[in-house]
């Protein structure tokens, strides 16, 4: 218990938070660490488990009231040695101390049955969408197919054969719970015959075998916004699997995977380009054609440009995800030394070298000055 974090702290809400604020906080944080989005992240899985535990308590008015009063301490600690006073009993699938409180303080009608009979949100789905570098930079529309469990058209999700309906469970009389008395205490467990729903299907729908759901292939079309980056997620609300008993549909999480480009690299909203330039152009200066995502542009390389020099071409980068502004294209010059020269070219270079001095080579002159200073 000592290592548990306060439930309000876990959800990031105040102790006066409304039911709506708690619901929104849980939904937001759960999406950040959902196991489907972080399949190999044990820390995310633990945070998700912690969030669920906090939400289960704070979203239930009775449990929240008891938590506000007692915290993590067992209010029955004085009965039977300080631990769980019901230790050693088999509660038949009950959810621990929280459910025991429901039995003691709510007349035996635990929240587990209410959850089983109430609306349940549908499952979220995850899809990895591959796009080209250009599609991510400029935006595009993509269509793809997914498989999801949907309500059976034949029985409308009831699981019962058309013309029939689910009937009240005879085992629990529709309560979804089985009560058992033993001495001074009464325990309550979920009805195994109906799974806590209070209803059973006598004649099953042949289309879905009584499950109320069938697996279908659907085509989904999504608008990929300009500027999206590798690993970012597009959420399509309500495009997951349908909920149960009037619960909301789940969401579809589309994780974008951007294929690498042959010549460009991305740095935020800037594009990085390493471009070879002849040593003559770098020495004398000249115009070069620089490729961009929108076609080539002319750029003037100044005289005496050194290898590795970077130039910024404004507005030729990636469009910002939420806005119309664009990043820049960062051009890094890679001075290329020619190979396989013929004899005439070599002779001309030798003649050129004979006419140069340290005056034309700033780095060489600076280096030689430091060498002289070192050995003087």
For 205-218, the pLDDT digits (tens) are 999 888 888 999 99
Give start and end residues of each alpha helix (H) in the chain.
Answer: 7-11, 19-32, 42-58, 61-70, 97-105, 111-117, 133-138, 279-284, 343-354, 362-375
**Strand 297-301 vs strand 310-313: parallel, antiparallel, or unpaired?**
unpaired
Least confident of 36-40, 164-168, 216-220, 337-341: 36-40
Q: Residues 154-176: pLDDT tens digits? A: 988 888 899 888 888 888 888 88
Residue 115 has pLDDT above 70, yes or no: no
Instruction: Please state, in angstroms and rounded to a whole number, the distance separating the CA atoms of residues 123 and 238.
Output: 10
pTM over 0.85: no
CA dihedral 278, 309, 291, 226 (to 10 degrees): 170
């Amino acid at each position: 218990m000592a290592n548990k974090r306060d439930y309000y702290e876990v959800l990031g809400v105040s102790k006066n938070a409304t039911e709506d604020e708690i619901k929104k906080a849980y939904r937001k944080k759960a999406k950040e660490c959902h196991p489907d989005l972080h399949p190999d992240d044990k820390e995310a899985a633990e945070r998700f488990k912690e969030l669920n535990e906090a939400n289960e308590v704070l979203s239930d008015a009775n449990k929240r009231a008891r938590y506000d009063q007692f915290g993590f301490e067992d209010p029955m600690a004085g009965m039977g040695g300080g631990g769980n006073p019901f230790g050693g009993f088999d509660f038949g699938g009950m959810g621990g101390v929280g459910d025991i409180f429901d039995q003691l303080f709510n007349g035996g009608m635990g929240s587990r049955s209410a959850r089983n009979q109430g609306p349940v949100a549908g499952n979220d789905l995850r899809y990895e969408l591959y796009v080209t570098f250009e599609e991510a930079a400029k935006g595009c529309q993509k269509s793809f197919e997914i498989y999801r469990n949907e309500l059976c058209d034949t029985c409308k999700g009831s699981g019962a054969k058309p013309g029939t309906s689910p009937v009240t469970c005879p085992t629990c009389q529709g309560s979804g719970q089985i009560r058992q008395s033993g001495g001074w205490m009464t325990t309550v467990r979920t009805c195994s015959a109906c799974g806590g729903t209070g209803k059973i299907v006598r004649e099953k729908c042949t289309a879905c075998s009584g499950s109320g759901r069938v697996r279908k292939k659907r085509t989904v079309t999504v608008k990929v916004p300009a500027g999206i980056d590798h690993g970012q997620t597009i959420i399509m609300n309500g495009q997951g699997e349908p909920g149960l008993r009037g619960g909301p549909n789940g969401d579809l999480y589309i994780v974008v995977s951007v294929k690498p480009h042959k010549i460009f690299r991305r740095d935020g909203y800037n594009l990085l380009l390493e471009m070879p330039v002849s040593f003559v152009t770098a020495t004398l200066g000249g115009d070069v054609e620089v490729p961009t995502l929108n076609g080539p542009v002319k750029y003037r390389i100044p005289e005496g440009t050194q290898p590795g020099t970077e130039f910024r071409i404004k507005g030729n980068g990636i469009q910002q995800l939420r806005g119309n502004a664009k990043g820049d294209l960062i051009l890094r010059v890679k001075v290329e030394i020619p190979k396989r020269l013929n004899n005439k070219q070599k002779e001309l270079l030798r003649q050129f070298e004979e006419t140069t001095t340290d005056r034309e080579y700033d780095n060489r002159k600076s280096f030689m000055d430091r060498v002289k200073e070192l050995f003087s």
